Amino acid sequence: MLTFQLSTHYLPKISLKIEFLCQGIEEAVHAAQTKIHHFALTHVLEMMKLIEKPELKSRFLKEFIKIEHLLQKTNTPIPSELAGKIHNHIQHLVRHSGQFGEALFQDPFLQSVRLYQANAHQELEFDSPQLLFWLYQDEQQRQSQIKGWLDHLNNINHTVKFYLALLRDSAPFTTIEINHGFYQQAIPDKKTCDLVIVKLAQQFNLIPKIQIGHHGINIRFCDALTMKELNNTDAQFELAICQLS
């Protein structure tokens, strides 16, 4: 099954982005190819742009506090283990001083690469002296550095994984037959939808175009190769509309 996700608000959007970047960095720890290490480095640099915003940690903290408050207010029955995890994440963020991944901003190599980027007004290219030197290092040395960077991202990685797990588990999947290549569902308000997840079997060769308006969700299905909208298909998909608060 292929999974397509569309987020509608800041926190789900940035969480999906961070999840994707961390997965790429994790893969590079166990890879030997120079190109994969290069991609991992660009992921680390992109992560630094995201997490250097001081309000990111406070946003996650406020979201977890709001979730805990709503669960208590509505007397929603949840496993005690889950309630404990939410409380522990709140306490961890409260106790954690400074920004996420703070040690990355003290790394001399990453500092020099970021400075080169800023002066060149461009993304990391192969004409960067720092990059060329790093890429010619022993692969095990690069792996060790990448693992160290990933360790520094452990707090944000752990926070995002828990937040997305809560979000994805907030709604069940419904199996739906595609009618004339189009599906529409009304929702009370755009604010009541944090994340839309569509699952499709790869054999259908379909790609969904998901749009969220103020009062509904529209999904049009296109051929994966031509991107032409389909008017008839006997395929089906699974849909979850997730909301935490």
pLDDT band with cut points at 50, 70 and 90 for residue 191: low
Q: Which residue would you say has higher pLDDT here, 189 or 229?
A: 229
Provide the pLDDT for residue 44.
Answer: 96
Task: Taking residues 178-193, report their average pLDDT.
Answer: 76
- Domain extents for the chain? 10-167, 171-242
Whether 171-242 and 10-167 are alike in CATH topology: the answer is no
| pLDDT greater than 90 at residue 155 | yes
Task: Print the SS3 string covering the chain.
Answer: CEEEEEECCHHHHHHHHHHHHHHHHHHHHCCCCHHHHHHHHHHHHHHHHHHCCCHHHHHHHHHHHHHHHHHHHCCCCCCHHHHHHHHHHHHHHHHCCCCCCHHHHHCHHHHHHHHHHHHHCCCCCCCCHHHHHHHCCCHHHHHHHHHHHHHHCHHHHHHHHHHHHHHHCCCCCEEEECECCEEEEECCCHHHCCEEEEEECHHHCEEEEEEECCCEEEEEEEECCCCCECCCCCCEEEEEEECCC
Architecture field, domain 10-167: Orthogonal Bundle (1.10)
> Quick one: what percent of the chain has pLDDT higher than 70?
92
Q: What is the pLDDT of residues 65-89, one digit of tens each?
A: 998 888 777 766 667 788 888 888 8
Give the CATH number of domain 171-242; options: 1.20.1250.20, 2.60.440.10, 3.40.50.720, 3.40.190.290: 2.60.440.10
Q: What is the pLDDT of residues 121-138, one digit of tens each?
A: 555 555 678 888 888 889
> Quick one: what percent of the chain has pLDDT higher than 90?
44
